[in-house]
Amino acid sequence: MKKVHEYIATIFGLGYFPVASGTVGSFAGLIVCLFLHRYIFLYVGVFLVLFTAGVISAGKKEAETNQKDPACVIIDEFACIFLVFLFIPLTPLYIIAGFIIYRVMDIVKLPPMRAIEKLKGGWGIMLDDAVAAIYSNIILHIISSFI
């Protein structure tokens, strides 16, 4: 079972990419989003399964490494990018803007993300990225009202 959690938390080892592993995880998640976006129930269902698996597996990986939010854990970026594009049209502009905004939000960590990140185990790992994704989604909706 330890290997299963390892595969989930690191997205089959992508989390060990030597540079910008979170960005790699977000990009991999974006590719899945592009395929599932038109099937809203499947899209939401896959997100919920990934998020739940992420809470469990990221928590296990954190406990195993004795490190808060280890860099190799990228299930959070992979899963939560689904929230960025929920109910957003997948045009090149929105895809690029959404990806960049999400990465910036995840790095900058606007309030209350730092406090949420301190939650124990997989919850802190997953929820701060969910908030970054929700902020990104709101910004994309604001942008869409002007275009």
pLDDT of residue 147: 82
Domain assignments of the chain as residue spans, ordered by start:
2-146
DSSP for residue 20? -
pTM of the model: 0.96
Q: What is the pLDDT of residues 20-64, one digit of tens each?
A: 999 999 999 999 999 999 999 999 999 999 999 999 999 999 999
CB 68 within 8 A of CB 143: no
pLDDT of residue 100: 98
Banded model confidence at residue 1, pLDDT cuts 50, 70, 90: confident
Whether residue 2 is predicted with pLDDT greater than 90 in this model: the reply is no
CB 14 within 8 A of CB 74: yes
